[in-house]
A and B are shown apart, each in its own frame.
Chain A
Amino acid sequence: MCLAIPGKIVEVSSTDNQDFALVDVVGVRRKIDLGLIRDDNPVPGDWVLIHVGFAMSKISEADANDQINTLRMLGEIDGAMQEVRGYGLEDIN
């Protein structure tokens, strides 16, 4: 639960005063919540660290690659991808 997942913002959208982003995480695209980093004005092309479906902070591309590498080395990449695929209840019947 401590390990955040990096993703690249593809598209930013707003509904009912709530900000969302379509992010790409190692080829998987899901919608995440931007509510916690609104002050940082996230835009397409930015990299963010994601935790339980929320962007926690903006990071550089190099750091995003480092974090993916860390998840791989920790044997957590499958779990992280399962989490990302699960955002939006896609896996739930």
Chain B
Amino acid sequence: MRYVDEFRQPELISRAADEIRRLAGGRHYRMMEVCGGHTHAIYRFGLKDILPENIELIHGPGCPVCVLPMGRIDDGLSIAQYPNVIFAAFGDMMRVPGTQGSPLEHKARGMDVRIVYSPSDALKLARTNPDKHVMFFAIGFETTAPSTALVLMRAKAEGIRNFSVFCNHVTIIPAIRAILDSPDMRLDAFIGPGHVSTVIGCRPYEWIAHNERKPIVVSGFEPLDMLQSIIMLLHQLKAGESKVENQYKRVVPWEGNRAALKAMAEVFELRPYFEWRGLGFISQSALRLNERYAQWDAERQFEIPGIRVTDPKAAQCGEVLKGVLKPHQCKLFGRECTPEHPIGALMVSSEGSCAAYHNYEHRKAAMVSLSSIA
């Protein structure tokens, strides 16, 4: 229990862990935490050491950087090869490898690549650089998509024409559906994403409970939040129920954020299909700019190669993303592929399960073996 002493309520944590042990009994339960923020928290807090072995947590697809196929990074970078184009993206994107290197490596070779912390700042770059074209490489689930939408509405209202969005926004529900449809995936329950749900609310998860008969609890990010969510899931499983419950009520309204949903509906439409790294093509799982915003759609304004790039053969990102393999079971893990030299995107973002595993579990194991030598 490595981090327990850092917790604010250690007694409550121990009590929650005891309750989980009691409720789980001898049965093995497989629960997927959908959100990459939860994956990070699970490793950082050492929750695996607190939970009994028969509660298995499977890491889900909720890390936007990790599920983006390499071909999309190449496409985005190809736009930045046009003269006078500024490539603007969040810091998370900068080290994600494309076939010819990451955005950061392209910057070192002379490409105009800028880190922005908000889509508003990409628009601000366009205002302050009227002789350039600013292409914002948009990524993220429903937490981020409304901000991109609002910025596009402003670009339109102000008539800013030297700005476009290369849209890679994805939606969480179809990815969950694809995982449930996957034949090699057997899950008992879901820990639902926290901050995505502040936007979409809890209603979109109801089909998981009603049609798929799987319990889902929308959860906060503190250790006690996640343990409490697992207790709520176990209560449902023991009672043979499947409901949507909201453990994160203090932040997540059941109906979501209507203004954010309205902004998304104004600007975006669903793509017929979109490729997810590791999960393949999933229908209606991503957003693109609708006809009204065609002038700000980088995919319509620029010609892009649109070539599908397969991941390096030895890398098993797909299996890890689907939870079929644990990160350390990939052939490249910790050898060719490390957070310092990532081959797959799961190793780039701190919310990727490989980076999270490497940063905490792998180092912990190394410490243990070192101390046994000493």
Contacts from A to B (Cβ < 8 Å): 1-4, 16, 18, 33, 35-39, 49, 51-54, 56-57, 59-60, 63, 66-67, 69-70, 73-76, 79, 82-84, 86-89, 91-92
Interface residue from B3, B65, B119 paired with A52 (Cβ < 8 Å): B119
Q: Which 6 A-B pairs have the closest CB atoms?
A: A53-B118, A2-B37, A86-B117, A54-B147, A83-B117, A35-B150
Taking the complex as formed, is B354 at the interface, i.e. its CB lies under 8 A from any CB of chain A? no
Q: Given contacts A49-B198, A92-B114, is CB(A33)–CB(B143) below 8 Å?
A: no
Task: Pick the residue among B36, B115, B150 that contacts A54 (CB under 8 A).
Answer: B150
Bound complex: CA A80 to CA B350 (Å): 13
* Chain A residues positioned under 8 Å from B263 (CB to CB): 35-36
Could you say which of A49, A76, A79, A87 contacts B251, with CB atoms under 8 Å apart?
A49
Q: A36-B259, A54-B150, A87-B121 are in contact. Are A92 and B65 (CB under 8 A)?
A: no
* B258/A52 in contact, CB under 8 A: no
Q: B23-31, B188-196, B281-289: which lies at the A interface?
A: B188-196
Contact of B195 among A18, A56, A84, A91 (CB under 8 A): A56
Binary flags per residue of B215-241, CB closer than 8 Å to A gives 1, else 0: 000000111000000000000000000
User: With contacts A35-B263, A60-B250, A87-B117 known, is A2 near B222, CB below 8 A?
Assistant: no
User: Tally of A-B residue pairs with Cβ under 8 A?
Assistant: 139
Among B11-19, B39-47, B177-185, B309-317, the one that faces the other chain is: B39-47
Q: Which of A39, A51, A66 contacts B143 (CB 8 A)?
A: A51
Contacts of A92 in B (CB 8 A): 114-116, 121, 125
Which among B65, B119, B140, B259 has the greatest number of chain A C-beta atoms within 10 A? B259
Query: For residues 154 through 197 of chain B, which have their beta carbon under 8 Å from a beta carbon of chain A?
Result: 154, 157, 193-196
Instruction: Evaluate contact between B150 and A36: CB separation under 8 angstroms.
Output: yes
Contacts of A52 in B (CB 8 A): 90, 117-119, 140, 144, 147
- The interface of chain B, by Cβ under 8 A from chain A, is 3, 6-8, 35-38, 40-41, 44-45, 62-65, 90-92, 114-121, 124-125, 139-140, 143-144, 146-147, 150, 154, 157, 193-196, 198-199, 221-223, 250-251, 253, 257-260, 263, 349-351
The 12 listed contacts between A and B (C-beta, < 8 Å) are: A1-B349, A2-B38, A2-B351, A3-B221, A37-B257, A38-B259, A52-B147, A53-B121, A56-B199, A56-B260, A59-B251, A89-B116
Min Cβ gap B39→A in Å is 9
| Minimal beta-carbon separation of A16 from chain B (angstroms) | 8
Instruction: Write out the residue numbers on chain A whose beta carbons fall within 8 Å of the beta carbon of B3.
Output: 73
4 more contacts with CB within 8 A, not counting A70-B41, A92-B115, are A1-B36, A52-B144, A73-B44, A89-B124
